[in-house]
Amino acid sequence: MREIVFDTETTGLDPASGDRMVEIGCVELMNRVPTGQTFHAYFNPERDMPAGAEAVHGLSSAFLADKPLFRDTAQALLEFIADSPLVAHNAAFDFGFLNAELSLCEREAVCMSRMIDTVALARKRHPGAKLSLDALCSRYGVDRSHRVKHGALLDAELLAQVYVELTGGRQIGLELAAETSRTDMIAVVSRPRAQRTPRPARPHAASAEELSRHRAFLARMEAPLWSS
């Protein structure tokens, strides 16, 4: 099954009040395994960048000034996500901005039925625990040492590892170079056993000396049960 884990960075918290998406990062999973295929883009938001938002993701108005508008990249993004389920952390936020941008360029919204929210999954699995991406990375041993500021693609890559753990888990860092074929498995199972030289039988009967000591020991016992 193909799934897309994604994250966004924005100018603020509410697209209804004029905030815009400035970055999106997507990671492709196939049967819960990252394929290495990603989509990443920055966007010119056509507005200023508030200092509070810039402090979170480090994307300044000057950096974004020469980036494409969302409408210029929308088709490539839609082709990448196709009709796959979309996984995000606090997914309603990211879906809200994605659909707001699609609406501005008069494109159809992404159906909310495709949404998988890792916050909801984590709340169900770990009630009462911290649910931030940083907290979940710590819980599952996902290395986030290179995460200095928020970044859409980096956060999507971290979230992909967390999502795998939330939905069953696998060993962190375990990568299979290639799937073992059924023929190879049969060959391993049916490999002939190595021939071994049988050991000679070990003697188990008591020696004459051991029998003599045993009789002497019994003779010293007073009123044994077996003589009554």
pLDDT tens string 177-206: 344 444 444 444 445 556 667 777 666 677
Which among 40, 89, 150, 214 is annotated as catalytic?
150
Domain map (residue ranges) of the chain: 2-166
Q: What is the pLDDT averaged over residues 63-78?
A: 97
57 in catalytic set: no
CATH code of the domain made up of 2-166: 3.30.420.10
* Residue with the larger pLDDT of the pair 121 and 215: 121
Distance CA 109, CA 95 (A): 9
Q: What are phi and psi of 42, to 5 degrees?
A: -105, 155
DSSP 199: P
Q: What's the CA gap between 118 and 89, in Å, rounded? A: 5
- Please write down the long-range contacts of 171-175, taking CB distance under 8 Å and 24 or more positions apart: 172/140, 172/141, 172/142
In the structure, how many helices (H) and strands (E) does the chain have?
9, 5
Using a pLDDT cut of 70, give the percent of the chain over it.
84
pLDDT at site 202 = 66
Mean pLDDT lowest among 25-29, 38-42, 181-185, 207-211: 181-185
* pLDDT for position 194: 61
Which amino acid is residue 146, in one-letter code? H
Residue 211: pLDDT band (50, 70, 90) is confident
Confidence of residue 223 (pLDDT cuts 50, 70, 90): confident
**Cα–Cα distance measured from residue 166 to residue 107, given in angstroms and rounded to the nearest whole number:** 33
Dihedral angle computed from the Cα positions of residues 51, 57, 62 and 64, in that order, rounded to the nearest 10 degrees: -130
